[in-house]
């Protein structure tokens, strides 16, 4: 995530000493020991400032040692009165990123203005690892700032004043020791002054590793260098303060951060600030190394020529010897030499020609006798401009604080174009565009967008960080929706679009927001997107709209799409994803019937902090390059239109970027260039996984030839063989170095490693044979496993189970052949399957597998052989894995997920703070009981741990209704080696502080291969209530909608009375996130539309019941027209999501309208939704079906009996079929709205998106 752009609570007290520059050491801190119920804690201490004032922000530092991987700290403060009695409040817990090893982290905690509080203690909750638990410190005194200050601080909104930094003086390269005239414009409202107000300017350096930070260094173990602070007292009103700031001493890789903010009369900074950045160079020394190419990026055909740019300290007439050494990414010295030159004058450029044949990234050391040694990196890369002809590629990059780049923007974009990146995601602060109401800082932003247009960059404006004056309360909004001035936002978007029309491609509406920020964050965010789109397109109808990148968690993204965003966007971007994440995003937009929407990953990279690392270590670093060739390639293989690297404007530490702040490259730069060269104009074909190996080959086709990206998942590498059908191939490594490799009778054997290589020259027809047949299993995004991994099936012991064989013809001609399965002894499968496929055809063939009872609990490696009747095509072996489970594994894997088996206690669950209460008055479909959390200042949890099969994807869902409490879930994973890995709420699901009613949230959980068990924890915190019910965990079947139909011994009576239904396994149509509004004036409430569906079965029939709450029952129409009134749609896919599901699926319309004849209620099969059956009325005179519809006191009950013969489904326990249900609401005005479970019905008929129903013997 974009951590470097979030609001970071910086203070001088948080900065430690570093080796190259002085980090401020602020005296006056209080170090506190920690203890738990088990005794003293010896591996961790905390410290707080000597003076802690109520109503301010406290910098709590945690020093730790030997912390196991995955350790996370959650920090709170607990308070007492002066007389020792407890104050029943705590400062909100603050999470910190995972840590390990030795180190120290700084966590800002806001201290409330609590009446009579005289002391506090730190409460530290440790999550993850064997040290998980809660501990606390001794108490320490806290100081009341006074009643007048308390009253002011509680009442002030901090949104009437503003600050603006003039960044124009920062647009040039500054120099060490230079005096910079920094102008700060401000407006201070009289209501927002307490005693006096000061403008504080802090001059900070890069975030560098803390002293003693363990390797590899993470963001959590870095802190800003602290250079200086400048203050000026101001008076209310408008004014300008000028500060003379001295550029500090040069450090290893330089950058400056200017942070400006107001400070009140008690010395407490305001909650928001203004920021600007700058670059600077050292002043002293004898020479600098420079080139005539951007970023030291030489194409293969260009001479590698450096220059020694002599500085003022040189003496003309001196004769000097320059010595140089060049090292490649292996650390090997590949070139050395020396040359003589005569000093002529300062500013002289002494040429240094490096004659290299190797490719990729190099480290250069240059030393002049008697002067100094200088170092840098450079690359030799493909000529992307020649390969692409200057056209757009699939790749993009990122800039931050573009209003501060100035002249550097030209260099940044020239570097990007050299590497093959033609799009730019510009993080653009609203506060930087419009620091004061109606006053726009265009001159600061013009250089960025002018340079973008000159360099042919497709600019995407990611708008974020609203100014304080546009908010209800001036404070950092972080990764959330905000309560702000939407009309001001409209005006900003219009003015920006008008000024930069033709210079940018589109708008991205915020970044990585998560639930929260406003009481109705989904509706508010969609409202912001709509306002932005309308305002922008009123100026430029062609401007594009991009959903906020990386909406977390996925359930939140689905809610946003369903609430109307799908119709407002041209691009849906994910972040840090893989191919499965791209496929999942495509599924999400397709299931909502959206017009064609592009899928991007517009933020991806791998953090590598290399502050002051030796040059050889810098060029030897491979992790970032490995990310490029694994994640980005996998996403392109899945059909991502564009992938944006999270870097491009240079980082002093390397961090996520491909260049340093001095524009010298990292090895990832060369990797990006090679990738762009190899995959330019290439289309994805598929992923090949050879049998008996862990090799992975992503196959692309360019101009009729094959390009393979090959890797191995095991760190030690392995010899992998693949039939490629040619005598030799060209293998290119991650830096662009090529070699020819001969095959043995067309079989290529290579030593593959996780760091991928490119293979060209293989016979593409031969390679495509690997893609014809595969075992089809659902995939889930959000994890880092690539596409093409060997499929993993779960089958019940002792029962026939249906596997899905996917057959597809990737050729432009017919093919035919046979598929044979290789299973363990004692297993039974379908006989060999013959196939014949026309060009381009795709189909699903069901295959019956039966594992013996003795195999229960086992996981077996299986395979299949695909042979072809076309002699040119080789036989192909394909691996897959089968885990054999008890038949009870069908359905919900959690015990007592509906809490009906609880007698005032949470039977089957553990935790504190939860209680089982009656569901009376809380809604329908809840059974008799629900779980409630209430009024908990700290997180309270309810957990259940279950043994699970590793490598399998699960679907985890719950019903939730919360008011005033943050709610969500964590998952604690226990691995075979004893480690625990925790997924927190934004990685699972989180719902903000309020939902308008019950709603269903879902998460897809891909279990690690070495998983033993997992604990599923419902969590809540805050003042208010949070209800949970119907918590489910099932094997993921390709849909977020999963339900069970339970076998009955005696069939229910079809009479519109549900007393003979036990309420088990309710299918929810309950929440606004399932609602589609068709009429703009419709206002949804739970009593206006809300429903549950139930399914039962026996050997002859499927039984369906739907209970609908609707205050006005208004049926209308006849036949197909009944869905314009109050009605129900049931839809079935008997194919199990086969490619021809659209043709074979069918729907039933149910209505209380009389169909005529002897029928009382309408059961109708519409034309176009018949699945090859007859369309028309089915209950007019027929006795094949039974239907009843009864209206009673604000609710309508629908019951239906359907013979299995009508569904083309053979019933048996474990059988699955596609199913969706929709309830329609009219209120007498035509179709106003509908609620849907299962997808695929509204707004488009897409049976492949239906939910999955499993027939079970009993419920859990």
Q: Which residues 6+ apart lie within 8 Å of 1155 measured at CB? A: 1118, 1161, 1162, 1163, 1164, 1177, 1179, 1180
Q: Provide the mean pLDDT of the chain.
A: 91
Q: Note the pLDDT of residue 694.
A: 75
3-state secondary structure of 451: helix
Q: Note the pLDDT of residue 58.
A: 85
Q: Note the pLDDT of residue 71.
A: 84
Q: Which residues 6+ apart lie within 8 Å of 1150 measured at CB? A: 1106, 1127, 1128, 1129, 1130, 1161, 1162, 1163, 1187, 1189, 1198, 1200
Per-residue model confidence as pLDDT tens digits over 43-62:
999 999 888 888 778 889 99
66-80, 306-320, 921-935, 976-990, range with the lowest pLDDT: 66-80
In this predicted structure, the answer to whether residue 650 has a pLDDT above a threshold of 60 is yes
* Homologous superfamily of domain range 162-281: Macroglobulin (MG2) domain (2.60.40.1930)
Per-residue model confidence as pLDDT tens digits over 1166-1194:
999 999 999 999 999 877 999 999 999 89
Phi, psi of 490 (to 5 degrees): -55, -45
1065-1074 average pLDDT score: 94
In this predicted structure, the answer to whether residue 190 has a pLDDT above a threshold of 60 is yes
CATH architecture of 287-381: Sandwich (2.60)
Q: How confident is the model at residue 3 (pLDDT cuts 50, 70, 90)?
A: very low
In this predicted structure, the answer to whether residue 850 has a pLDDT above a threshold of 70 is yes
Q: Note the pLDDT of residue 460.
A: 98
283-292, 643-652, 866-875, 1175-1184, range with the lowest pLDDT: 1175-1184
- Peptide bond preceding 216 in cis form (omega within 30 of 0): yes
Cβ proximity of 94 and 59 under 8 Å? no
Per-residue model confidence as pLDDT tens digits over 497-511:
999 999 999 999 999
24 DSSP 8-state letter: P
Q: How confident is the model at residue 214 (pLDDT cuts 50, 70, 90)?
A: confident
Per-residue model confidence as pLDDT tens digits over 316-351:
999 999 999 999 999 999 999 999 999 999 999 999
587-613 average pLDDT score: 90
CA distance 134 to 136: 7
| Backbone torsion region of residue 548, taken as left when φ is above 0, otherwise alpha when ψ lies between -120 and 50, otherwise beta | beta
Q: How confident is the model at residue 20 (pLDDT cuts 50, 70, 90)?
A: very low
Nearest to 1132 by CA among 1145, 1114, 1113: 1145
Q: Note the pLDDT of residue 1237.
A: 96
Cβ proximity of 1120 and 1166 under 8 Å? yes
209-213, 415-419, 1205-1209, range with the lowest pLDDT: 209-213
762 DSSP 8-state letter: -
CA distance 993 to 983: 20
- Is the domain spanning 1043-1256 CATH 2.60.40.1190? The answer is yes
Q: Of the segments 8-12, 729-733, 967-971, which one has the largest average pLDDT value?
A: 729-733
Cβ proximity of 354 and 364 under 8 Å? yes
Q: How confident is the model at residue 526 (pLDDT cuts 50, 70, 90)?
A: very high
Neighbours of 252 (CB within 10 A): 19
CA distance 1102 to 1212: 12
Q: Note the pLDDT of residue 51.
A: 84
Q: Note the pLDDT of residue 7.
A: 28
* Homologous superfamily of domain range 775-887: Immunoglobulins (2.60.40.10)
- Annotate 823-834 with b (16+ C-beta within 10 A) or e (fewer): beeebebbeebe
As a CATH number, domain 391-616 is: 3.20.20.80
CATH architecture of 891-1037: Sandwich (2.60)
In this predicted structure, the answer to whether residue 986 has a pLDDT above a threshold of 90 is no
Q: Do 3-155 and 891-1037 show the same overall fold?
A: no
Q: Note the pLDDT of residue 1045.
A: 96
CA distance 182 to 231: 12
Query: Which CATH class, in words, describes the domain spanning 3-155?
Result: mainly beta
Q: Note the pLDDT of residue 93.
A: 62
930-935 average pLDDT score: 95
Beta strands in 1081-1126 (DSSP E): 1090-1097, 1101-1109
243-250 average pLDDT score: 95
In this predicted structure, the answer to whether residue 904 has a pLDDT above a threshold of 70 is no
Nearest to 873 by CA among 767, 744, 761, 729: 767
In this predicted structure, the answer to whether residue 1084 has a pLDDT above a threshold of 80 is yes
Q: How confident is the model at residue 695 (pLDDT cuts 50, 70, 90)?
A: confident
Cβ proximity of 682 and 701 under 8 Å? yes
Spans of all domains in the chain: 3-155, 162-281, 287-381, 391-616, 775-887, 891-1037, 1043-1256
CA distance 142 to 119: 5
């Amino acid at each position: 995530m974009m951590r470097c752009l979030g609001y970071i609570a910086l203070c001088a007290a948080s900065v430690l000493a570093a080796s190259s520059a002085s980090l401020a050491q602020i005296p006056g801190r209080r170090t506190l020991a920690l203890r738990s119920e088990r005794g003293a804690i010896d591996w961790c201490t905390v410290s707080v400032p000597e003076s802690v004032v109520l109503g301010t922000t406290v910098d709590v530092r945690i020093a730790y040692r030997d912390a196991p991987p995955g350790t996370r700290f959650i920090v709170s403060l607990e308070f007492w009165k002066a007389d020792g009695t407890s104050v029943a409040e705590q400062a909100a817990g603050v999470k910190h990123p995972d840590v390990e090893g030795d180190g120290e982290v700084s966590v800002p905690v806001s201290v409330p203005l609590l009446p009579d509080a005289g002391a506090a203690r730190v409460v530290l909750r440790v999550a993850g690892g064997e040290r998980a638990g809660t501990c606390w410190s001794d108490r320490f005194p806290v100081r009341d700032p006074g009643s007048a200050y308390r009253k002011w601080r509680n009442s002030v909104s901090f949104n009437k004043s503003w600050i603006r930094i003039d960044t124009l003086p920062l647009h040039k390269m500054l120099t060490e020791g230079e005096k910079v005239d920094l102008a700060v414009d401000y407006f201070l409202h009289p209501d927002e002054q307490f005693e006096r107000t000061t403008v504080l300017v802090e001059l900070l350096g890069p975030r560098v590793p803390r002293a003693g930070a363990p390797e590899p260094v993470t963001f959590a173990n870095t802190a800003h260098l602290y250079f200086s602070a400048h203050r000026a007292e101001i008076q209310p009103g408008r004014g300008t303060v000028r500060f003379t700031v001295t550029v500090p001493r040069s450090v290893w890789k330089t950058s400056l951060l200017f942070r400006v903010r107001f400070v009140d009369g008690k010395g407490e900074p305001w909650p928001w600030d203004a920021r600007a950045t700058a670059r600077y160079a050292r002043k002293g020394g004898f020479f600098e190394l420079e080139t005539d190419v951007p970023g030291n990026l030489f194409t293969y055909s260009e001479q590698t020529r450096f220059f020694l740019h002599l500085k003022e300290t040189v003496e003309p007439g001196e004769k000097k010897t320059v010595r140089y050494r060049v090292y490649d990414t292996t650390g090997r010295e590949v070139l050395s030499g020396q040359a003589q030159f005569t000093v002529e004058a300062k500013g002289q450029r002494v040429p240094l020609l490096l004659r290299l044949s190797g490719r990729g990234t190099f480290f250069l050391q240059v030393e002049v006798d008697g002067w100094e040694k200088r170092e840098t990196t450079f690359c030799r890369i493909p000529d992307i401009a020649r390969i692409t002809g200057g056209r757009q590629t699939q790749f993009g990059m990122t800039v931050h604080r573009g209003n501060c780049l100035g002249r550097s923007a030209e260099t940044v974009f020239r570097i990007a174009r050299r590497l093959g990146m033609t799009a730019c995601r510009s993080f653009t602060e609203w506060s930087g565009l419009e620091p004061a109401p109606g006053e726009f800082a265009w001159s600061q932003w013009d250089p960025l967008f002018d340079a973008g247009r000159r360099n042919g960059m497709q600019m995407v404006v990611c708008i974020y960080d609203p100014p304080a004056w546009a908010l209800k309360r001036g404070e950092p909004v972080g990764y959330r929706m905000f309560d702000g001035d939407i009309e001001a936002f409209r005006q900003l978007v219009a003015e920006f679009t008008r000024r930069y029309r033709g210079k940018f491609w589109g708008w991205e509406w915020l970044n990585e927001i998560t639930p929260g920020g406003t009481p109705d964050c989904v509706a508010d965010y969609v409202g912001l997107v709509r306002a932005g789109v309308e305002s922008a397109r009123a100026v430029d109808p062609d401007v594009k709209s991009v959903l906020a990148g990386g909406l977390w968690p996925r359930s939140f993204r689905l809610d946003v799409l369903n609430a109307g965003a799908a119709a407002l966007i041209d691009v849906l971007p994910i972040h840090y994803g893989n191919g499965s994440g791209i496929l999942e995003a495509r599924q999400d937009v397709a299931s909502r019937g959206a017009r064609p929407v592009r899928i991007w990953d517009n933020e991806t990279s791998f953090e590598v902090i290399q502050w002051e690392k030796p040059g050889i270590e810098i060029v030897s670093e491979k992790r970032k390059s490995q990310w490029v060739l694994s994640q980005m390639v996998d996403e392109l293989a899945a059909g991502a239109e564009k992938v944006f690297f999270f870097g491009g404007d240079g980082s002093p530490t390397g961090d996520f970027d491909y260049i340093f702040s001095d524009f010298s490259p990292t090895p990832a730069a060369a990797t990006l260039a090679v990738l762009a060269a190899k995959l330019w104009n290439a289309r994805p074909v598929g992923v090949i996984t050879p049998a008996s190996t862990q090799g992975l080959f992503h196959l692309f086709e360019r101009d009729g030839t094959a390009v393979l990206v090959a890797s191995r998942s095991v760190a030690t590498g392995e010899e992998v063989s693949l039939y490629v059908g040619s005598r030799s191939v060209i293998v290119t490594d991650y830096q662009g170095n090529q070699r020819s490799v001969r095959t043995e009778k067309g079989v290529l054997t290579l030593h593959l490693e996780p760091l991928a290589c490119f293979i060209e020259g293989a016979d593409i027809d031969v390679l495509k044979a690997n893609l014809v047949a595969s075992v089809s299993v659902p995939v889930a995004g959000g994890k880092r496993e690539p596409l093409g991994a060997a499929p993993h099936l779960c089958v019940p012991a002792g029962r026939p189970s249906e596997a899905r064989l996917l057959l597809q013809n990737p050729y432009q001609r017919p093919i035919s052949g046979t598929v044979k399965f290789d299973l363990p002894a004692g297993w039974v499968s379908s006989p060999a399957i013959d196939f014949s496929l026309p060009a381009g055809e795709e189909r699903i063939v069901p295959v019956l597998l039966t594992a013996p009872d003795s195999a229960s609990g086992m996981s077996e490696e299986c395979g299949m052989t695909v042979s072809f009747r076309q002699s040119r095509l080789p036989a192909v072996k394909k691996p897959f894995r089968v885990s054999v489970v008890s038949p009870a594994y069908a359905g919900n894997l959690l015990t007592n997920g509906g809490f009906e088996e609880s007698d005032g206690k949470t039977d089957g669950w553990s935790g504190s703070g939860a209680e089982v209460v009656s569901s009376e008055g809380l809604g329908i479909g809840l059974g008799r009981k629900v779980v409630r959390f209430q009024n908990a200042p700290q997180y309270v949890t309810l957990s259940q741990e279950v043994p699970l099969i590793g490598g399998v994807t699960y679907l985890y869902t719950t019903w939730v209704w919360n008011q005033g409490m943050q709610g969500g879930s964590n998952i604690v994973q226990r691995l075979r080696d004893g480690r625990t890995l925790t997924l927190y709420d934004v990685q699972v699901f989180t719902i903000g502080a309020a939902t308008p009613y019950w709603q269903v949230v879902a998460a897809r959980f891909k279990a690690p291969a070495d998983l033993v068990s997992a604990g599923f924890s419902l969590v809540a915190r805050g003042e208010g209530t949070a209800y949970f019910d119907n918590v489910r965990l099932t094997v993921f079947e390709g849909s977020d909608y999963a339900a069970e139909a339970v076998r009955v011994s005696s069939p229910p009576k079809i009479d519109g009375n549900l007393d003979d239904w036990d309420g088990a396994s309710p299918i929810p149509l309950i929440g606004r996130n399932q609602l589609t509004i068709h009429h703009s004036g419709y206002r949804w409430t739970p009593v206006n539309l809300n429903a549950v569906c139930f399914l039962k079965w026996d050997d002859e029939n499927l039984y369906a019941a739907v209970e609908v709450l609707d205050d006005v029952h208004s049926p209308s129409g006849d036949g197909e027209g009944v869905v314009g009134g109050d009605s129900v749609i049931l839809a079935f896919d008997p194919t199990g999501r086969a490619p021809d599901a659209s043709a074979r699926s069918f729907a039933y319309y149910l209505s209380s309208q009389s169909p005529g004849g002897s029928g009382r209620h309408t059961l109708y099969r519409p034309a176009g939704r018949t699945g090859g059956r007859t369309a028309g009325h089915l209950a007019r005179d027929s006795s094949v079906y039974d239907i009843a519809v009864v209206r009673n006191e604000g609710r309508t009950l629908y019951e239906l009996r359907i013979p299995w013969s009508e569904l083309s489904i053979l019933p048996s326990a474990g059988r699955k079929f596609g199913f969706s249900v929709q309830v329609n609401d009219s209120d007498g005005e035509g179709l106003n709205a509908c609620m849907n479970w299962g997808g695929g019905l509204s707004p488009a008929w897409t049976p492949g998106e239906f939910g999955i129903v499993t027939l079970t013997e009993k419920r859990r």
